[in-house]
Chain A
Amino acid sequence: MTKKLILVMILALAVLSFAGVYVESGKVVFTFEVDANQVYLAGNFNNWLPDSLAMENENGIWKISLELQPGEYQYKFVIDGTKWVEDPEAPSYVDDGFGGKNGAFLLIEENGVLVIKAVGEESPGTKIKYEINENREDTIYVDEEGYIIIRYYNPEAEYVMIAGNFNDWDPESLEMYEAGDGWWEAVLELEPGIYEYKFVINGENWIEDPNAFAYVDDGFGGKNSVLAVYEEDSKLIVSAPREEQSEVETASIEIPLGVSVIDGKVYFKVEKKEATKAYLAGTFNNWDPQSIEMKNVNGYWQVSLELNPGKYQYKFVFIINDNQTWQEDPFAPGYVPDGFGGKNGIFELVEQDGSLVILKPEETSSQSSSSLSGNYSFTLTYKYDQDIILKGYGFDNSLNLIFKPSDELEFSLKYSGATIDNAKLEFSWQKLNLMAHYNLPLDLAIEGISSGVFVNYDNKFFVDIGALNDVLPFLLWVRFGDFSVYYGNKYFYGENAIFAGYDFEFSSIDFELFGGYFVESSNFAISINTNSKNWNSEFSYVNNIISLNIDVYGWEIFGNYSMLDSSYEISLSAPLFEIYKIFGGYRHSSLIDKSHIGFGLFEDDYSLRLKIRTEASNIFLDIFGEINF
């Protein structure tokens, strides 16, 4: 009897696992649990393209949300871009025309809220066809205690299991008992609904019930046995599925993972098997870690709150082996940093047409995106270590943001490390261009002062004025056609300097010449840049350093040599296929020798590079890259 009881309890709970498809914040969310590298969603909403809708892996559960109009939808999951599988938890199924099934559901708007219904409840056109078994023996019945008993005759079998949509078709979880004389018996506790099942003989042969009420195509060329459970006068009865079945939503309320609103209450649900207790803390209870205890319902922690419209942040507090662990909701509608490097789940509760709805925080803030662009770069450095192989050595990053609210105005900011590193504000008005730059030298052949105010009139007259304690550094330049003349007052290396530039074309090669004279130190500087269709080069001699940079068909060579201390540097980079590059380099100075070798991926909007470098006897690994947006 205890065995029976346990079996019954497991069964009762198995049918309550969470749905594969649900509506959240007006979007349809598909979830699928599978071990895979990448799962895609395909359906009649994207012309069954197998790789256009990539799902995201959140703790082993693949997830995607789509904005869909009300209508009827069919879908399948595509594992690793090749293997098509149906959703084991789909609200309903339809024949896919290839002997299999598609997950299917109807999206209906009820009182302004989207609801998912099983196909077949509302539209008779796609109803599942049941084949009624005319000559059956009565082997299925409900006992006095309300359990459903299914008997099966097979004297040859060593053991028989039952598998069906009530236990996720698990062939190992539900054993049938020997009832004597070759009869086997399964005891199930089932809610009203329509179930499909098969027997599994000796763990390998899947067989339909010869005495089933009805059959349905199993999608593999065979048949599933069908059993319908109805409630009449508060008693359960079993029969074949009835034609006029119009029951709405058999499985009571299913609470999705994350935050949801059901009947005006806000539900929180999360999975954490290893926790012995769980609490909910957030701005609604001032982050008290123990005032809202969550309940364990079938392996999920859940709790409901009555909340007023507003914006709330929250976290879960799990007690794991007597330790308090704070954790964000992996299914939160949005996140904000918690100030400690972690994040809080965030959601906004609004009243729409008299009922509460959860809004995603991002949805309110997309209008400003067009005026914002920029890039982010990072360098993550590890040092080789005997014990732990990679020892964290440093993390440098910088974020460059460019706001362009209108054509006339541009503002850029660069965050580096922990604070604002440099900034630029730019106004354009007809022929006049005004710019304030902070910690950011102008992009000239020779680096000048880093902060100042720059004026450009008609791309002909230019001036940049900086500020030093006791002098006024400035650079003036004038451009006539291809010629330009510069005068810098304490602008380059704190010296006065005169420069001239000339741009010309010769046998379809663009030349840019630039040269000048530093008044105090009597040093010369020169730079020659050439540009052609497939190659370009840059040569310069500035501040006693000679450098040369050549780029031919994507091969890049760079070298420099300092005449002061005889230090030099050389590096080479070569393209590989279309988007990869390998590179290496060597640097020598009187103090230290450095060398590096690396590999990189260069896409239009991002690059990722890996570099191994040596410095004296140390070996470092750099992972660095840049993204543009």
Chain B
Amino acid sequence: MKKLIFLSIFIFFILFSLSGCMKLLNLSLTPGIYVAGEWNNWIPTESDRMILKDGEYQYVLPVASITFLPGSQGNIGWYKVIYIEAGESKVQSSVPIWYENLLDATVVTIYASPNIMYDGYAVGAGDSEKMLGEWYCAGDFNSWSLAKMSKVGEKFVLTIDKEVNAGDSYYYKIARNTDWKPYEEQFDGKNYNAGYGQDALFIADKAGSSIVVEYDPKYSILRAYVK
């Protein structure tokens, strides 16, 4: 009985004393699409609003204002894109920026397309750092040995010659190097920093002789199809 009382007091304490704090801090941003990170303490202000340019939302982030910390390889900084609309908001999961891959770039351009964003996923927004350097792909279809993807336009593509039947399924993932490092930039089609067991799944919708994996770094879209 004593336990029960203690427990109820404890829960009461949690629910009503401190949770009130959060309500005081509700964001009062006008609808729009914003970028958050260490530079604004993850709370965007009007100056972090993305601008519609050439039909896409863009935000130019100076490299100097990103906080980079040592990662599994090199230094990693983080950001996320927040889309606020009356009644609905979509918050992207954190996206890494790999400092060493930027070489001498002084800015990172972040792109977003709010209608394909999905709350809690990284999908729908990406950046120029992801367009630099190499991407590798591994999956059930190539015994999980990371193979270099080739750059076709703005996308990274890997074609695997393999006889496929409709309904065949394959787990796969992309990474920056043949040793998966930096781990923070592994991507499973949903989130970056996709660790062990977090993979993309591809199910063949038709039969064919090759599988194509395609990654669009601009909007963090990873997909596969049968050719």
Contact = CB atoms under 8 A, between A and B. Distances in A.
Interface of A: 287, 323, 340
Contacts of B70: 323
Contacts of B196: 287, 340
Nearest to B197: A287
A323 B196 CA distance: 18
Nearest to A339: B196
A323 B69 CA distance: 11
Nearest to A340: B196
Contacts of A323: 70
3 contacts: A287-B196, A323-B70, A340-B196
A569 B196 CA distance: 51
Question: What interface size band does chain B fall in?
Answer: under 10
A287 B196 CA distance: 10
Interface in B41-75: 70
A45 B70 CA distance: 54
Contacts of A287: 196
Nearest to B69: A322
A552 B70 CA distance: 63
A403 B202 CA distance: 39
Nearest to B145: A418
A220 B70 CA distance: 56
The list of the 3 closest CB pairs from A to B, nearest first, reads A287-B196, A340-B196, A323-B70
A247 B70 CA distance: 56
A340 B181 CA distance: 14
Nearest to A323: B70
Interface in B68-84: 70
A287 B70 CA distance: 23
A314 to B, nearest CB: 15
B54 to A, nearest CB: 41
A340 B70 CA distance: 22
Interface string B171-185: 000000000000000
Nearest to B180: A340
A287 B197 CA distance: 11
Contacts of A340: 196
A323 to B, nearest CB: 8
Nearest to A287: B196
Nearest to A289: B195
A28 B142 CA distance: 48
A244 B65 CA distance: 76
Nearest to A286: B197
A5 B196 CA distance: 48
B73 to A, nearest CB: 12
A323 B72 CA distance: 9
A25 B87 CA distance: 60
B184 to A, nearest CB: 12
A465 B70 CA distance: 62
A323 B70 CA distance: 9
B207 to A, nearest CB: 27
A150 B196 CA distance: 59
Interface string B182-205: 000000000000001000000000
Interface string B147-169: 00000000000000000000000
A183 B196 CA distance: 66
B199 to A, nearest CB: 13
B139 to A, nearest CB: 15
A323 B73 CA distance: 12
Nearest to A418: B143
A315 to B, nearest CB: 12
A340 B183 CA distance: 14
A338 to B, nearest CB: 9
B194 to A, nearest CB: 14
A287 B198 CA distance: 13
A278 B31 CA distance: 43
B29 to A, nearest CB: 31
B64 to A, nearest CB: 23
A545 to B, nearest CB: 38
A261 to B, nearest CB: 25
A38 to B, nearest CB: 37
A596 B120 CA distance: 61
A320 to B, nearest CB: 13
A414 B202 CA distance: 34
Nearest to B143: A418
B179 to A, nearest CB: 11
A340 B196 CA distance: 10
A575 to B, nearest CB: 45
A340 B144 CA distance: 12
A391 B137 CA distance: 28
A503 B70 CA distance: 73
A554 B196 CA distance: 54
A389 B70 CA distance: 30
Nearest to A338: B196
A554 B70 CA distance: 59
Interface in B192-222: 196
A340 B180 CA distance: 12
A588 to B, nearest CB: 38
A337 B70 CA distance: 28
B185 to A, nearest CB: 17
